[in-house]
Amino acid sequence: MSLKQVTKTSAKTFNINEQLPLVAILRGVEPKDAMRITKILIAEGFTMIEIPLNSPNALNSINCLVENFGDKYLIGAGTVTTIEEAIDVIATGANLIVTPNFNEQVIRASVAADCKVFSGVVTPTEAFSALAAGATGLKLFPISVLGINGFKALTSVLPATTICLPVGGINPTIASMKPLMDVGAQGFGLGAALYTPSMSDDEVTENARQFVSAYRGCLVH
């Protein structure tokens, strides 16, 4: 399938304030579990669900979630590193693509297909290149490399409207989230502290609840 066959022409303005800006990264989820786990997360308020492509049969999971939730929520893929992968994801009808790195082709293909795309960046060069290519926002990954001071320095030179989502080691506490929000984070990507395949449904529910509570707590402190 060619890029021309799967792209759309109209792009919609993205407003992060219309979402719970916590991206659920379901790394390792299997298709038989993807629907159940997503229902749990949506029930707790999540609106952005990412299936990393290095998960088992990831495209099958994404396709199923898109069919059931894609009209109301942002559903798509993470760890998208090549244009070929992007085309495969776009073909499922996904509306969200997240990359671990800056790849101009992936960003432009995603934008052309009306997918929201968050590009992995660490340096100012990567950040400005991603924005110039049309990225919806930036995935600061791994945030541990930048640290608070590095992230603050980066956001000080970015356009004020830039959406920044730190990823890597975020915990469901105000102490983990608020220092980053104070220097420019609008939300976060959440991985193993939210979900791993070994967790029970009750554990995922409780983790989700704690993350939502901590994020909302940051807004009033």
Give catalytic residues, as residue numbers.
Answer: 50, 139
**Burial call 190-203: b when 16+ CB within 10 Å, e when fewer:** bbebbbeeeeeeee
What are the angstrom distances between the C-alpha of 218 and each of 5, 10, 155, 162, 179? 43, 35, 19, 19, 9
Whether the CB-CB separation of 97 and 52 falls below 8 Å is answered with no
